[in-house]
């Protein structure tokens, strides 16, 4: 029963978008070129952070840049022109870094096409120094308590 209570108090740190690849995203093999997946993940990440009111303009305004320092992708199945996909971005770590996991699924079948993750770190814009702990503004935007990982 305690586990159900903890799940109920956990903030929803995910967001899902739907898109269809454009013709110019294809490679000579008529599938989406692998590099374009990064663009799709960026669109999903921006939508998630905008939903949390901490997209790039708000990050800059708060005094922090959030560069990507690591990104991993696992291509499971090819994505083709016009195929409707759902991309789910979910924040899974936020204490010392911002880690987001992604799933790209076929909108019609639900079949997983790609799995990915990205890691961002906070950098103080004024000093250009990396922060070893995420700044409180991120925790506030996520609705979590500092140091607990639970909803504020």
Is 0.85 surpassed by the pTM of this model?
Answer: yes
Q: 45-59 pLDDT, tens per residue?
A: 999 999 999 999 999
- What is the sign, positive or negative, of the torsion defined by CA atoms of 136, 138, 139, 143? positive
Alpha helices in the chain (DSSP H): 2-9, 36-51, 56-62, 136-142
The three-class DSSP label of residue 145 is coil
Domains and CATH numbers, the chain: 14-142 (3.10.129.10)
Q: Which pLDDT score is estimated for 150?
A: 47
60-119 pLDDT, tens per residue?
Answer: 999 999 999 999 999 999 999 999 999 999 999 999 999 999 999 999 999 999 999 999
Integer Cα distance of 38 and 51 in angstroms:
20
């Amino acid at each position: 029963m305690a586990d159900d209570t903890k799940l109920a108090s956990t903030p929803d740190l995910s967001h899902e978008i739907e898109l269809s690849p454009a013709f110019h995203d294809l490679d000579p093999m008529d599938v989406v070129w692998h590099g374009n997946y990064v663009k799709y993940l960026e669109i999903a990440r921006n939508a998630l952070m905008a939903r949390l009111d901490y997209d790039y303009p708000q990050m800059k305004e708060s005094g922090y840049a959030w560069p990507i320092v690591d990104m991993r992708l696992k291509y499971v199945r090819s994505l083709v022109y016009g195929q409707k996909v759902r991309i789910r971005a979910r924040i899974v770590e936020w204490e010392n870094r911002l880690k987001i996991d992604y799933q790209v699924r076929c909108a019609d079948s639900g079949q997983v096409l790609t799995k990915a993750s990205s890691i961002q770190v906070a950098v103080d814009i004024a000093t250009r120094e990396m922060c070893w702990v995420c700044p409180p503004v991120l925790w506030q935007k996520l609705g979590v308590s500092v140091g607990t990982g639970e909803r504020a």
